[in-house]
Structure 1
Amino acid sequence: MKNTMEYKGYIGSVEFSEKDNLFFGKVMGIRPLLSYEGTTAQELVADFHEAVDDYLALCREEGTEPETAYKGSFNVRISPELHKQAVIYAQGSQKSLNSFVEEAIAAYVAKREI
């Protein structure tokens, strides 16, 4: 079972409030807060789609570029020692640091997938 859904390239979280008997979530990976809710799974999906569509329509009206999540570039802060070790390993493997980090993350995520 997943706790995310996707629509037009946007990823939305799926959560449930037992107290309120309500599904809810927000679009992940972008600065604008796009939230949605529903009392059923179908309502949640419909409200998620509507939130994304409304955001894209607003961007069109304002003449602004909609934010996209997960562009493939991000900053990671690690200790100087780990940074040094990663560079040494990457160079010893005749890889760039980016290639090494990408492979390491891919391997870790593959192990974690259910």
Structure 2
Amino acid sequence: MIIYKGYSASIEIDLEAEIIFGRVLDINDVVTFQAQTIEEVRQELQSSIDDYLEFCKELGQKPDKPLISLG
């Protein structure tokens, strides 16, 4: 798991396609990313979240906030 700006993401590896991909967790909207190297994963996650936040701003909508676990 990786975290950026309070958003956490799951990360998986597809060995056949030789890619690393992930999805932001605990929000209703779908925010995904993919990379080919470990170094690119953090950059792609950050870009995806920044793009998501900017897109919401352009639409005049509040972005989903991650759910907070109380357990």
Structure-2-length-normalised TM-score? 0.91
- Cα distance in 1, alignment partners of residues 33 and 14 from structure 2: 13
Q: In structure 2, what is the equivalent of residue 56 of structure 1?
A: 53
Q: How far off is 1:71 after superposition?
A: 3.6
Q: Quick check: which has more Rg, 1 or 2?
A: 1
1:15 to 7, 12, 17: 12
Q: CA RMSD in A?
A: 1.3
Cross-structure match for 1:44: 41
1:1-114 alignment, distance < 5 Å: 4-72=1-69, 105=71
The code of the aligned residue for 1:10 comes to: Y
Residues 45-68 of structure 1, C-alpha deviations (whole Å, 9 max, x = no match): 111100000000011111111101
Higher helix share: 1
Runs of at least 4 residues off by over 4 Å: none
Q: Which amino acid aligns with 1:35?
A: T
Contiguous gaps of at least 5 residues in structure 2: none
Unmatched segments (≥5 aa) in structure 1: 73-101, 106-114
Number of residue pairs aligned between Structure 1 and Structure 2? 71
